């Protein structure tokens, strides 16, 4: 793209603040190598390399949005240390620790990136070698503070033990010495000089103990003396320390040799981790800025940047705009007054193109960009004193180079084309340059103030004229992009706001009207009409947004009321169910009393039945009822009893069941076939007393073993008396007794089937059993 990359980088930095935006990305990196790689990034010419970088960013964004907390903490630029080891130099413990930390980070990445949906990230992570033997060896010898461990080798352990013993002996001897010679010492303490234990002796006694004199106090009244009795023990301590340092050096030397043997794997891992760290940093930036990964397309020259923002502008102040160029539109010409946002728009679009072609995400909600092989900029005042170039000369010099080197795969950004010279000549030059670039099929984003250039753009099929909206009442820019609308300069209005003399303004208007041709007047009228249309459109869109907001609020209110209604209905249903459960419990108690009182008197039985009847909830009459007649055989549903109707009175019937008369409402009756009585031969010996087996058994309150024993005995009686269907009442409780009952029934040889009772028969608190 450029031979002089340094000059090209400076051009990008001056034109679109490329370096400042790259610094935002670099702030998310984990170590220096990836940080440097991002800060030195430039747009690429290789489309496949560009796409590879963008795909990595896309997968990284998906990885972090899925909740992954992958961290590259511990990564370091280990290349200098590895190269040092290869040159047979000894690495420091700190350098070895950085290599181990780096390998641990590689291992974490491999353990995290196992999801096949992140194809490229997984492919990169799988290329890394764990170098487990090197990492383990370093971790065994180097602690987390970057020092050799005391137990890194057997010899090191031994030397540390010798050091401890020597120091203990020296401490003991020095304590005895101080105690014995306290009168000759300035202080009853020992001190250390150059690693050797000494005492502070009075000046007159400095030669009294032999040994060595290591120095004099500042006052000259005392000397630091190493008594002869200390010398041998001090020597032992120093020897042990020296041997320890030698052994540590030997361990580091051995680890350095091992590191050198892993040179290729370590440097390959470093390259991979740098690529991944750059991708992760870009992903974090995109999530933070609510950006996206651009799509680079090669089908045509169309461009779409939806809700594009400049990342250097405060997020609370920046105005998002959508920019589009159709496949036949080669030029986007932005017009409008100064300070209206034209340059910011140019820089935003240029930055999106440069970032996407360098493999970075952009600050948009959606971005589709053509593939460009070269990117050119001419923004700002580039006058040069050294080269004797004026503003216009520098522009012309830049334009000349762009025109000579551009092609259909060039993106060109031109701010105020033709500016800096006579307006008539500047306009003509701008039109000619644009015509030439259009013929070369390059993509151009430009801005202009010249009416002649705007008129040319309005009539050219390959040019889209747009403007930045300006509030003519407040004379303040809104920074909103208006495609298809050319903007007025508002020069006189802005000048009036800054209190320029009214005579000057009136004279300027007069001169303008005299010199302005009819075409420019018509163009100005058209611009005013377009602005009025845009304002009306905005008012209409605001009314639509307000209507949508009211509709949304009404829908939310409706949903709240529906939710409140649902809550009320649930509460009502819950209270109703609680009431029904209470009634069912009372009914169960009466039924249990009926079943237990086999010898009850008739009038008491009738009273209990009336009480039970009173507990039944009112039900709606069915449209089609069973019709009953005297002599029908029926079943009493909630009692699981059956018998013959002997009397019928409106909604009540008298049923003969088990030798007793019961008055029951007809809605509790159900017709059934009369059971067939089998004729049996009279037994030789028959019990004189007749035992009637009840049709249900209540084991509520029993322990599991006791309840199962009672049920088994009850079922044996039922089988003996040819009873086919019974009910076991076990209650709800914790469900433990019910579960045990069902487990026992599953194994019972005479049980045909069993199921939970219906709502009127006890629900989950009872089980209906059908016997074989």
Angle at which helix 228-261 crosses helix 263-288, to 10 degrees, equals 80
Query: Worst-scoring range by mean pLDDT, 260-269, 739-748, 760-769?
Result: 760-769
Query: Worst-scoring range by mean pLDDT, 533-542, 614-623, 657-666, 687-696?
Result: 614-623
Angle at which helix 342-357 crosses helix 47-65, to 10 degrees, equals 100
- For residues 346-373, average pLDDT: 95
Summary mean pLDDT of the chain = 83
Element (H, E) at 410: strand 410-414
Model confidence over 608-629: pLDDT tens digits?
A: 555 655 555 544 444 334 678 8
Residue 247 has pLDDT above 80, yes or no: yes
- Strand 185-193 and strand 196-202: pairing? antiparallel
> Using the 8-state DSSP alphabet, how is residue 651 labeled?
T
Q: In whole angstroms, what separates CA 172 from the centre of its chain?
A: 63
pLDDT at position 518, please?
A: 53
Position 544 confidence tier, pLDDT thresholds 50, 70, 90: confident
Q: With a threshold of 0.85, does the pTM exceed it?
A: no
Q: And the tokens for 183? A: 């009168």
Q: How many helices (H) and strands (E) does the chain have?
A: 21, 23
pLDDT at position 618, please?
A: 45
Model confidence over 320-353: pLDDT tens digits?
A: 999 999 989 999 999 877 666 788 899 999 999 9
Model confidence over 285-298: pLDDT tens digits?
A: 999 999 999 999 99
Residue 766 near residue 730 (C-beta atoms within 8 A): yes
Model confidence over 28-80: pLDDT tens digits?
A: 999 999 999 999 999 998 999 999 999 999 999 999 998 888 888 889 999 99
pLDDT at position 386, please?
A: 41
Pairwise pLDDT comparison (468 vs 599), residue with the higher score: 468
pLDDT at position 384, please?
A: 42
CA distances (Å), origin 327, targets 304, 317, 369, 412 = 11, 32, 11, 16
Rounded CA separation 479/663 (Å): 89
- Strand 366-370 and strand 303-308: pairing? antiparallel
pLDDT at position 339, please?
A: 66
Angle at which helix 518-596 crosses helix 602-615, to 10 degrees, equals 180
pLDDT at position 637, please?
A: 74
Residue 82 has pLDDT above 50, yes or no: yes
Query: Worst-scoring range by mean pLDDT, 63-77, 475-489, 554-568, 573-587?
Result: 475-489
Element (H, E) at 219: none
- Strand 295-297 and strand 366-370: pairing? parallel
- For residues 471-498, average pLDDT: 66
CA distances (Å), origin 455, targets 325, 450, 483, 702 = 19, 9, 15, 100
pLDDT at position 732, please?
A: 74
Residue 646 has pLDDT above 50, yes or no: yes
- For residues 369-381, average pLDDT: 86
pLDDT at position 545, please?
A: 75
- For residues 675-689, average pLDDT: 49
Instruction: Compute the half-sphere exposure of residue 764: CA atoms within 13 Å on the CB side of its CA.
Output: 9
Residue 54 near residue 371 (C-beta atoms within 8 A): no
Rounded CA separation 296/352 (Å): 12
Annotated binding site: 336-343
Position 596 confidence tier, pLDDT thresholds 50, 70, 90: low
Residue 687 has pLDDT above 60, yes or no: no
Sheet containing strand 196-202, strands side by side = 185-193, 196-202, 222-226, 212-216
From the list 673, 683, 766, 682, the residue with the least C-alpha distance to 726 is 766
Burial pattern 678-696, b for ≥16 Cβ within 10 A else e, equals eeeeeeeeeeeeeeeebbb
Annotated binding site for ATP: 336-343
Residue 90 has pLDDT above 80, yes or no: yes
pLDDT at position 702, please?
A: 82
pLDDT at position 107, please?
A: 92
Position 488 confidence tier, pLDDT thresholds 50, 70, 90: low
Structural domains in the chain, sorted by start? 5-131+262-288 (1.10.1420), 154-239 (1.10.1420), 303-501 (3.40.50.300), 597-614+629-674 (2.30.30.30), 692-772 (3.30.1370.110)
Query: Worst-scoring range by mean pLDDT, 163-172, 198-207, 688-697?
Result: 688-697
């Amino acid at each position: 793209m450029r031979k002089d990359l340094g000059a090209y980088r400076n051009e990008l930095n001056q034109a679109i603040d490329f370096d400042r935006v790259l610094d935002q990305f670099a702030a998310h990196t984990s170590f220096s190598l990836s940080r440097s790689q991002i800060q030195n990034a430039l747009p690429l010419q290789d489309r496949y390399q560009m796409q590879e970088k963008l795909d990595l960013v896309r997968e990284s964004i998906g990885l972090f949005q899925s909740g992954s907390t992958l961290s590259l903490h511990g990564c370091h630029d280990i290349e200098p240390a590895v190269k040092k080891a290869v040159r047979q130099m000894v690495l420091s413990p700190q350098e070895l620790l950085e290599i181990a930390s780096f390998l641990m980070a590689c291992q974490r990445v491999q353990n995290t990136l196992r999801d096949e949906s992140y194809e490229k990230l997984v492919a990169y992570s799988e290329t890394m070698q764990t170098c487990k033997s090197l990492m383990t060896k370093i971790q065994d010898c180097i602690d987390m503070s970057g020092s050799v461990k005391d137990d890194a080798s057997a010899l090191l352990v031994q030397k540390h033990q010798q050091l401890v013993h020597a120091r203990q002996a020296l401490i003991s001897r020095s304590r005895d010495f101080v105690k014995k010679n306290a009168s000759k010492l300035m202080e009853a303490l020992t001190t250390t000089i150059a690693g050797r234990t000494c005492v502070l002796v009075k000046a007159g006694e400095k030669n009294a103990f032999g040994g060595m004199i290591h120095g004099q106090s500042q006052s000259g009244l005392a000397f630091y003396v190493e008594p002869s009795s200390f010398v041998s023990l001090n020597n032992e301590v120093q020897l042990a320390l020296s041997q320890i340092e030698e052994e540590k050096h030997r361990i580091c030397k051995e680890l350095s040799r091992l590191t050198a043997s892993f040179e290729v794997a370590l440097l390959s891992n470093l390259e991979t981790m740098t690529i991944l760290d750059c991708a992760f940093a870009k992903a974090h930036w995109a999530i933070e800025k609510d950006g996206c990964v651009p799509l680079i397309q090669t089908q045509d020259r169309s461009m779409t940047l939806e809700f594009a923002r400049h990342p250097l502008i405060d997020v609370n102040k920046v105005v998002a705009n959508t920019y589009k160029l159709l496949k036949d539109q080669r030029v986007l010409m932005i017009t409008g007054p100064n300070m209206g946002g034209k340059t910011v728009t140019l820089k935003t679009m240029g930055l999106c193109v440069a970032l996407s072609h360098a493999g970075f995400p952009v600050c948009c909600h959606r971005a589709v960009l053509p593939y460009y092989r070269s990117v050119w900029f001419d923004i700002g005042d580039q006058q040069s004193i050294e080269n004797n170039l004026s503003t216009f000369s520098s522009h012309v010099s830049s334009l000349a180079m762009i025109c000579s080197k551009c092609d259909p795969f060039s993106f060109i950004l031109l701010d105020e084309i033709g500016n800096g010279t006579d307006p008539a000549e500047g306009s003509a030059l701008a039109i000619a340059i644009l015509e030439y670039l259009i013929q070369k099929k390059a993509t151009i984003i430009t801005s202009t103030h010249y009416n002649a250039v705007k008129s040319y753009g309005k009539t050219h099929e390959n040019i889209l004229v747009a403007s930045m909206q300006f509030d003519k009442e407040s004379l303040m820019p809104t920074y909103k992009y208006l495609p298809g609308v050319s903007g007025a300069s508002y020069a006189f209005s802005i000048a009036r706001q800054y209190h320029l003399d009214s005579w000057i303004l009136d004279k300027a208007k007069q001169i303008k009207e005299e010199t302005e041709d009819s075409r420019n007047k018509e163009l100005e009228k058209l611009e005013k009409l377009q602005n009025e249309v845009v304002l009306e459109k905005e008012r209409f869109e605001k009314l639509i947004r307000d209507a949508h907001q009211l509709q949304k609020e009404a829908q939310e209110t409706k949903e709240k009321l529906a939710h409140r209604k649902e809550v009320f209905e649930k509460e009502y249903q819950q209270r109703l169910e609680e009431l029904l459960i209470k009634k069912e419990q009372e009914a169960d108690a009466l039924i249990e009393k009926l079943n237990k009182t086999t010898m009850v008197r008739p009038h008491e039985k009738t009273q209990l039945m009336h009480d039970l009847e009173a507990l039944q909830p009112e039900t709606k009459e069915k449209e089609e009822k069973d019709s009953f007649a005297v002599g029908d055989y029926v079943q009493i549903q909630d009692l699981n009893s059956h018998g013959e109707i002997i009397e019928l009175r409106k909604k009540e019937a008298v049923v003969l069941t088990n030798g007793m008369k019961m008055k029951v409402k007809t809605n509790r009756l159900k017709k059934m076939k009369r059971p067939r009585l089998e004729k049996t031969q009279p037994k030789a010996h028959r019990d004189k007393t007749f035992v009637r087996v009840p049709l249900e058994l209540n084991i509520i309150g029993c322990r599991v073993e006791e309840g199962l024993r009672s049920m088994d005995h009850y079922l044996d009686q039922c089988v003996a008396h040819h009873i086919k269907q019974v009910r076991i009442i076990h209650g709800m409780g914790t469900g433990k007794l019910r579960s045990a009952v069902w487990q026992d029934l599953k194994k019972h040889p005479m049980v045909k089937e069993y199921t939970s009772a219906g709502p009127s028969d006890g629900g989950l608190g009872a089980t209906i059993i059908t016997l074989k």
